[in-house]
Amino acid sequence: MEKIMLKKKTYANFNNEFAKVFNSDNSLPENIFNTKFYNFFVYDMDYFYEETGWEWILQISSNNKVKNLFFTSATEKNSNYTIAEIPTSLEPKQILEQIDILENESEDKKNTFFLSFNEACLFSNVSNWGLYFVNEFNFVILALEEDFPKQDAFFHLERMTKEEFTKHFQEWSVWLEKDNLNFLKEFNKVFFTKN
């Protein structure tokens, strides 16, 4: 059987396809996603270090007739970054293996792919949903357009309530200013009031 390798491409600046999902000025929390996104869900990142999270992503992709996913860990405007193209025909185990290979091959450790790095982004060629991985705080945000069809696949992973997320965030986070909860209050206001 032929070994499938992820394709990768380096961009000199912010890509138009990428901009359909993410904001190039992605300062947390309110500007991560393009303004067209309305519904937000927060998950524990641990699901995505294993096959469970990728099975879930592939199920959402299949339901939306997505052929390719795009994954990157850098979104700054006017900076070089690399996007890995992930065919949805791969199995979850293959995806994890391939992303790991890409990370190990990378010379630029700031722009590596895997989830051990902060602010990784995943989106599809359909561009009506996106995932934002924040390793520093060990959570993942799923954003959906307002008219995105309800998916049974969403219920396969347990999402966090506001209370669970707040506890989780405080346990994992390292604050520049000790006990500064302004960020968390703002995050909760933006990502939980809409649901």
| Distance (Å, whole) CA 125 – CA 105 | 25
At residue 3 the predicted structure's pLDDT band, cuts being 50, 70 and 90, is low
Distance of CA 183 to the CA centre of its chain: 19
Judge if the upstream peptide bond of residue 92 is cis by omega within 30 degrees of 0: no
| Coil, helix or strand at residue 29 | coil
Residue 28 pLDDT more than 90?
no
pLDDT digits (tens, 9 = 90+) for 97-117: 887 777 776 655 555 555 444
DSSP letters, 157-174, are SPPPPHHHHHHHHHHH--
Report the percentage of the chain scoring pLDDT > 70.
Answer: 74
| Least confident interval from 17-26, 32-41, 57-66, 125-134 | 17-26
Single out the residue of 118, 195, 126 nearest to residue 162, CA to CA: 195
159, 65 Cβ separation under 8 angstroms: no
pLDDT given at position 92: 93
Q: Which among 110-114, 155-159, 180-184 has the top mean pLDDT?
A: 155-159
> What backbone phi and psi angles, to 5 degrees, belong to 128?
-105, 5
Number of Cβ atoms within 10 Å of the Cβ of 10: 10
Entry pTM:
0.81
Residue 54 pLDDT more than 90?
yes
pLDDT given at position 99: 79
Structure tokens at 43: 């998950």
Residue 176 pLDDT more than 50?
no
Single out the residue of 150, 137, 145, 142 nearest to residue 191, CA to CA: 142
At residue 90 the predicted structure's pLDDT band, cuts being 50, 70 and 90, is very high
pLDDT given at position 55: 93
pLDDT given at position 74: 59
Residue 1 pLDDT more than 60?
no
For residues 44-57, average pLDDT = 90
| Distance (Å, whole) CA 11 – CA 34 | 19
Residue 17 pLDDT more than 60?
yes
Residue 167 pLDDT more than 90?
no
| Distance (Å, whole) CA 20 – CA 26 | 13
**Cα-Cα-Cα-Cα dihedral sign, residues 133, 30, 143, 184:** positive
pLDDT given at position 79: 61
40, 30 Cβ separation under 8 angstroms: no
